[in-house]
């Protein structure tokens, strides 16, 4: 475990979002980091698919960057569905 320095504004954002979603400040920060990491690794995925990857990772023992880099969502989006946003 380490210390991560963040701005006062980000800390307040984490506090507000964490309170609204029933998470601690650290829990909210970790959630945003996981979502951000998966979004960078899989820019083609939408939020629902990112959540599916998070659930799959949790069922497999936790999010590992190597596994996340090679993971696929439970149901891949079809090319025709991608254009229907």
Blockwise average pLDDT, block size 10, the chain, 85 residues:
91 97 96 94 94 90 83 57 49
Angle at 13 between CA 53 and CA 68, to 5 degrees: 15
What is the pLDDT at residue 39?
94
Read off the pTM: 0.74
Contacts of 46 (CB under 8 A, 6+ apart): 77, 85
Spatial contact of 50 and 39, defined as CB atoms under 8 Å apart: yes
Residue 6: which H helix or E strand, with range?
Answer: none
Angle at 35 between CA 8 and CA 54, to 5 degrees: 135
């Amino acid at each position: 475990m380490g210390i991560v320095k963040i701005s006062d504004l980000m800390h307040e954002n984490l506090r507000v979002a964490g309170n609204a979603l029933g998470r601690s400040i650290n829990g909210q920060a970790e959630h945003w980091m996981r979502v951000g990491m998966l979004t960078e690794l899989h820019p083609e995925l939408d939020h629902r698919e990112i959540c599916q990857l998070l659930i799959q990772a949790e069922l497999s023992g936790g999010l590992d960057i190597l596994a996340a880099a090679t993971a696929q969502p439970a149901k891949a989006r079809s090319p025709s569905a991608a254009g229907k946003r």
